[in-house]
Amino acid sequence: MSITPSVRAFVEQQSVGVLATSGPDGRVRQSVVYFALQGDELLISTLADRQKARDVERTGWASLCLHGEAPPFPSATLAGPASIRRKEIGPGTAAVMGRIMGAQEPPEPQSDEALAGVGRVLLVIDVDRVGPTLYID
């Protein structure tokens, strides 16, 4: 799918979102994460042994919900097939780190070997559902 320009602009304005995955017991799990949107992929940098990474490897699905900070609280929920990526993740990881640091430019990308050495992986959501979106347009 393609994310509409107004939703894309809203998503890019937000610093963090709430990631939801399904645990082994079928119950939802949530946590607050930084992210970067590249094309129709949401990129989240995490560690391979985190519950969110294991949930995604087991279920292949994740959802990210973003909202503004003041009434009427505009929001967007982006969801889709998700996977844990370990190869060619330097630039994407740097893009997320740049957002965490609030930098104008992302830091220099690290090699896959360096990232693997600290257990860092990229959780990638291939967005194919957007909604509900409120008060954006």
Q: Which one of 4, 48, 98, 134 is in contact with a second copy (CB under 8 A)?
A: 134
Residues 66 and 64: their CA atoms lie apart, in Å, by 7
> At its nearest, how many Å lie between a second copy and the CB of residue 137?
16
Residues 6 and 91: their CA atoms lie apart, in Å, by 25
- Which residue matches tokens 């959802």? 63
Give the interface segment with a second copy, choosing from 64-72, 87-95, 106-114, 116-124 (CB under 8 A). 64-72
**108, burial (CB in 10 Å: exposed 0-12, middle 13-18, buried 19+):** exposed
Residue 13 engages a second copy in binding (rule: CB under 8 A): no
Size of interface with a second copy, in residues (CB under 8 A): 29
Q: Which residues within the stretch 72-111 sit at the binding site for a second copy (CB under 8 A)?
A: 73, 75, 77, 79, 102
Residues 96 and 41: their CA atoms lie apart, in Å, by 12
Q: What is the dihedral of CA 92, 101, 56, 4, to 10 degrees?
A: -70
> At its nearest, how many Å lie between a second copy and the CB of residue 90?
24
- Which residue matches tokens 């699905």? 61
> At its nearest, how many Å lie between a second copy and the CB of residue 79?
7
Q: Which residues within the stretch 17-56 sit at the binding site for a second copy (CB under 8 A)?
A: 18, 20-22, 26-32
Cβ closer to a second copy: 88 or 128? Answer: 128
| Beta bridge partner(s), residue 10 | none
Dihedral sign of CA atoms 70, 93, 24, 26 in order: positive
Cβ closer to a second copy: 47 or 73? Answer: 73
Residue 132 engages a second copy in binding (rule: CB under 8 A): yes
